[in-house]
Amino acid sequence: AQSVSQHNHHVILSEAASLELGCNYSYGGTVNLFWYVQYPGQHLQLLLKYFSGDPLVKGIKGFEAEFIKSKFSFNLRKPSVQWSDTAEYFCAVRGSSNTGKLIFGQGTTLQVKP
């Protein structure tokens, strides 16, 4: 069965620090990969997605992620975080044969201190 693992459950950073959130998945075939963000009290918003092509994907608000197929990873990065990046971040995977169903990781709570 497919699964997604986000190793960091709670991350605390100071403003201007660099961010990397880990995401690993288990699935043997072609995958689509997503990162969503959920600001406090709000719904999930799409940060970025990978379908094919360049494994380095740029998203909104200065976020990027790199797909490393050999490591089954899709880590999220941002060179310099802001207080407004405080939120919960979810990695999600969809197998190409999976009729659109997404499998989500457990989420990582990011707290940025001003």
Partner 1 sequence: DAGITQSPRHKVTETGTPVTLRCHQTENHRYMYWYRQDPGHGLRLIHYSYGVKDTDKGEVSDGYSVSRSKTEDFLLTLESATSSQTSVYFCAISERASGGDTQYFGPGTRLTVL
Nearer to partner 1, 17 or 104 (CB): 104
Q: Is residue 32 at the binding interface for partner 1, with CB under 8 A as the rule?
A: yes
CA distance linking residue 97 with residue 100, whole number of Å: 8
Q: Is residue 59 at the binding interface for partner 1, with CB under 8 A as the rule?
A: no
User: Are 76 and 47 contacting, i.e. CB atoms less than 8 angstroms apart?
Assistant: yes
Task: Output phi, psi for 24, to 5 deg.
Answer: -125, 145
Q: Which of 11, 62, 73, 104 binds partner 1 (CB under 8 A)?
A: 104
Binding segment (CB under 8 A) for partner 1, from list 17-25, 56-64, 67-75, 89-97: 89-97
User: Are 2 and 103 contacting, i.e. CB atoms less than 8 angstroms apart?
Assistant: yes
Binding segment (CB under 8 A) for partner 1, from list 17-25, 55-63, 71-79, 100-108: 100-108
Bridge partners (DSSP) of residue 56 are: 66
